Structure 1
Amino acid sequence: MKTSISLNQENLSLIPSDVITPSYDRDKVTTSIVHIGVGNFHRSHEAFYTNELMERYGILDCGICGVGLLDYDRRIYNILKDQDGLYTLITKELDGSLTARVIGSIVEYIFAPENPIAVIEKMANPAIKIISLTITEGGYNLNEATGEFDFSNPVIVEDMKNPMSPKTVFGYLSQALKLRMQRGIPGCTIQSCDNIQGNGDVAKKALTEYIEKTEPELLPWIEENVSFPNSMVDRITPVTVAADIERLKTEFQVEDQWPVVCEPFKQWVIEDQFITGRPEWEKVGAQFVENVIPFENMKLRLLNAGHTVLGMLGALHGYKTIDEAAHDKDFQFFLKAFMNEEVTPTLGNLGNIDLNKYKKSLIDRFQNIYIKDLISRICLESSAKIPIFLLPTIKAQLQGKANITRATFIIAAWCKYNDGVDENGKSYAIEDALSNELIRAAALSHENPIRFLQIRSIFGDLIDNKTFVDAFLSSLKMIREKKIKECVAEINSRLS
């Protein structure tokens, strides 16, 4: 039996040749990016693009300093510290083969709870041109109902009382930007890499509302010296499981405590608004544009909504992974018709994008049997996802008096999903910030079906649209009376 090699800088030369390792000198890498939220997605996406730039072009002035803000981040901090910032990216190809490469672009890491001042000083360092974020939808601390910054959040209250010992991204950013202003240091770009619509705009709104209340004298300087480009990010990156770690060890003899698994597809479209310069990520496949909205809508309404479609249908049927649902012929037919007939008419002019090719690629990606993306992951926090991924399609189709049957059926399926049990009688947890409200509304909908649509923070004035309400009630009645596969087959037959 071959001996596995522990991943760290000293052992890089011992890693087997079928694993791609950094050929550049990591000692010569200089840091110009601070990234908050070093999870799997950041490591499969921004850190990957940056590593490629270093590897293929020898551009070494774009090293990343990772920052962990939460106590939860202690584990990844300890692992990256043990491994000198190195980790393995395992790409699961469509034919089942694996490509393993060691990523070396994260050259520093700070665990904020242990040393908040070090994080503030690092962000304020003149060498830092970009502070990027992967903090999830909830990390922007905007009220679900009003869209305004939530100053009642206990950690925000704490940050306002103790500004030099912050716990949130807003506390850290405000103090770092304040130091830059006071020291006469140029501004920087705050780059959201989160999968939310208008992510740069959201980051700017949240930060400026916080600063308006805490450091108002900073606002004019930020307006002049800080940019917030919007971007569209895309790469399916499932949770790393023990089998992935073991397979890396047995097939490649690499012992990595937390590798990252991803699909081969990747996409990054960014508005080119970087106030103090940026890495040339376009050399390695990123696309810089004036306006990201068309690309964003395409991705959110097709990929993300497609995931939601398969997630809700699959969860009710009892499937565990997205590839299972995507290979189900009834579900696959439903999804293709949803994309072609209900989403595509809402997308407008996409320039030279081959939309049919893109939609076909989505089906291939969903069907990748080697990714094993969990349906439970896709369905969690649906109250934050569905208003972004699905409702814009419904609203646009209503405006054009066009078909909303399948999109509305998924809303009804979501209502039933919140009963917390699949058709085989197996229960599952509803993991959602609004879980109590969702579960209660779903329960009450058995007696009063419209009750689910009365969650105004999600559906807004859609409850006042008779066409939508009638379609929802019809779908929910069908779902309550029949198996999900029967319902889908009936819709497929009726509308084909």
Structure 2
Amino acid sequence: MTARLSLTTLPAGQRPIAEPDRIGIVHLGLGAFHRAHQAVFTEQAAIITGETGWGISGVSQRSATVREQLAPQDGLYSVLTRGPGDPTVRVMGSIREVLTAPEDPGAVVARIADPAVSVVTLTVTEKGYRAAVQGGLDLTDPEIQADLAGRAPRTVVGQLAAGLVRRGESGAGPLTVLSCDNLVANGPFLRRLMEDYVRALPEAKNLIEQLEIARFPASMVDRIVPATTDADREEAAGLLGVRDEAVVVAEPFLQWVIEDDFAGARPAWDKAGAILTGDVAPWEQAKLRMLNATHSMLAYLGALRGYETIAEAVRDEQLAGLANELMTADVIPTLTPPEGLDLTAYGQSVLERFANPALKHRTAQVAMDGSVKLPVRLLGTIRDRLAANAEPRLAALAVAAWMVYVAGGVDANGNPLKLDDPQAARLQETLADAGITPGHRSGGAAVQRGSAAGSGIALGAAPAAVVGALLGVESIFGEDLRDNAVFRGLLVDQVGGLTE
């Protein structure tokens, strides 16, 4: 049996170049994306500068799986990069500690409060911030209420608040809190959540003082990181000569744009290729509205047609054409590009990256959490186009595809489509109240091509009924889009075109 990856089993030629000797960063949300992105930048910066004091303490917010993968491997893992040529593998050593928040929340707070730590980064996904519809903290969330009541904190906002309080008590110095999630103005967004949390506490003088000196820079991250499969693990083992249970897969492309607003010391991420800027917003808007929105469109349309991966969906000429039209007709008119970024060329590069067959990024994975992804990826574009008296036909198609995905429950071949969403229960209840039962399919061809992107799925209800039910979920669409006749009409037409 192949030996497991560790410092003792790894061949000398595969050992990570940088093994940071102390912890200077805490990362909340230790998933595959962080390991393929920020941890890579951190290690590369250590290689270039020789500064090895920026080891990462990674915090898993849900389960012990990542710890069980990394602990027997001395924190080592590999990044399997799949591009046009042969795959390459590189072992990383920047993660020096793994904590599991549900098991030991006190250890998480203690590490955030450590004077040696000056930066906390986050990739907890959109739903991990527990935001309310209006954008602030959802103070009705049971987990937030439990943290406010004084338990050892389990939410990221509670963990940060407790860590900041302890830093104030010990004189540990100010902290930079750097969100790396796909959210509009993610830094100011997180600061607002923290401020809402503070206002809900009975006594928060120390925390208020720490928030005043903390920094919450915005950032934009970009790299496609599909879920790792057993085949990926086997290939990495063949390249490494040892078995890696924590391997992550990624495309060659790697980008990080960070607002240059730090409270103290930081790794030399700019030396490793990160862009430090005074204004992240143009980069962020381009990425969210072009790459992320197109990713979602292809996920829903592709899944409805029975495609398992994004690469399969984008190789469908009709779907690729619709994705390109979404960017050129609806998105680009709403953007002010950052200096040096050609939006048309960027859009073409997005589709080229999605077409990489080696990545096997599953449509089901991208389709997850639609209720929190749609507002930040598509609805801003729709609102801007409507305000300009334009009809966002392609953006509405992407939303309609989500509606058919949710309400239909199956693809064109009759295979079930899993609704993995934090509002799944509410969406299903809303549909049930409207008399709509998911799980219908047509009796005709598996995939129909007659409409813009026909799926051959029968909803068992009129398109207007489906749109009326789901558009009424104000936590997603708000009152403005719910009541907009133009948008409603576009959705009814597009849902009708996607079905029988």
- Among residues 454, 472, 478, which one is paired with 2:472 in the alignment? 454
Q: How far off is 1:396 after superposition?
A: 1.2
Distance in 2 (alpha carbons) for counterparts of 1:435 and 1:148: 21
Contact 1:226–1:275 (CA under 8 A) maintained in structure 2: yes
Equivalent in the alignment of 2:72? 82
State the secondary structure of the residue aligned to 1:430: coil
Q: Does 1:240 align with 2:247?
A: no
Matched position secondary structure for 2:499: helix
Query: Which residue is equivalent to 2:17?
Result: 23
**How far is 1:441 from its partner?**
4.4
Match of 2:307 in 1: 319
Q: Partner of 1:40 in structure 2?
A: 32
Q: Which residue is equivalent to 2:56?
A: 64
Distance 1:409 1:30, change over 3 A: same
Distance (Å, rounded) in 1 between the aligned partners of 2:141 and 2:400: 32
Q: Deviations over 1:243-263 (max 9, x none)?
A: 111111234322101201011
What is the CA–CA distance in structure 1 between the aligned matches of 2:84 and 2:200, rounded to whole Å? 50
TM-score normalised by structure 2 residue count: 0.89
Q: CA deviation at 1:33?
A: 0.6
1:135 aligns with 2:124: yes
Partner in structure 1 of residue 397 of structure 2: 409
Corresponding residue number in structure 1 for 2:173 = 186
Q: Letter of the aligned partner of 1:401 in structure 2?
A: N
Counterpart in the other structure of 2:160? 173
Partner of residue 453, structure 2: none
Indicate the residue corresponding to 2:5 in structure 1: 7
Displacement after TM superposition at 1:386 (Å): 0.8
* Partner in structure 2 of residue 475 of structure 1: 494
Summarize the alignment of residues 91-490 of structure 1 with structure 2, pairs less than 5 Å apart. 91-95=81-85, 97-143=86-132, 145-163=133-151, 165-214=152-201, 215-418=203-406, 419-442=408-431, 444=434, 446-447=461-462, 448=465, 449-460=467-478, 461-481=480-500
Tell me how far 1:455 sits from its aligned partner: 1.7
Once the two structures are TM-superposed, the CA of residue 134 in structure 1 deviates from its matched residue by: 1.4
Question: What is the distance in 2 between the residues matched to 1:84 and 1:248?
Answer: 17
C-alpha separation in 1, matches of 2:107 and 2:385: 51
CA offset digits 1:74-116 (Å, max 9, x no partner): 1211221111110011111123x11100001111223344443
Q: Distance in 2 between matches of 1:51 and 1:439?
A: 44
Q: Secondary structure at the match of 2:288?
A: helix
Q: Specify the SS of the correspondent of 2:404.
A: helix
**Contact 2:26 2:59 (8 Å CA) reproduced:** yes
Between Structure 1 and Structure 2, the one with more helix by share is 1
Compute the displacement of 1:391 (Å): 1.1
Letter of the 1:469 counterpart:
R
- On the 8 A contact 1:229/1:272 being kept in 2, the answer is yes
Calculate the TM-score normalised by the size of structure 1. 0.90
2:43 maps to what in 1? 51
SS in 2 for 1:34: strand
Determine helix, strand or coil for the equivalent of 1:89: strand
Q: Aligned residue for 1:490? A: none
1:474 and 1:23 map into 2 onto residues whose CA distance is 56
2:443 corresponds in structure 1 to: none
Deviations 1:215-267 (A, max 9, x none): 42134313432110110011111111111111112343221012010111111
Aligned length: 468
Tell me which amino acid in the other structure corresponds to 1:6: R
The 4+ residue runs of structure 1 with deviation greater than 6 A are none
Asked if the contact 1:463/1:469 (under 8 Å) is kept, the reply is yes
Consecutive unaligned residues of structure 2, counting only runs of 5 or more, are 437-460
Name the residue aligned to 1:489.
Answer: none
Query: Aligned letter for 2:424?
Result: S
After TM superposition, give the deviation of residue 358 of structure 1 in Å: 1.4
SS at match of 1:438: helix
Question: 1:5 Cα shift?
Answer: 4.2
CA–CA separation in structure 2 for the residues paired with 1:42 and 1:410: 28
- Indicate the percent of aligned positions where both proteins have the same amino acid: 37
SS in 2 for 1:255: coil
2-structure distance, mates of 1:223, 1:108 = 26
State how far apart, in whole Å, the 1-side matches of 2:141 and 2:392 are: 37
What is the CA–CA distance in structure 1 between the aligned matches of 2:148 and 2:399, rounded to whole Å? 39
Cα drift, residue 205 of structure 1: 1.6
Aligned-partner Cα distance in 2 for 1:120–1:480: 51
Q: Deviations over 1:423-472 (max 9, x none)?
A: 11111221112223333545637242533322222222113222222222
2:276 is paired with a residue of what secondary structure?
Answer: strand
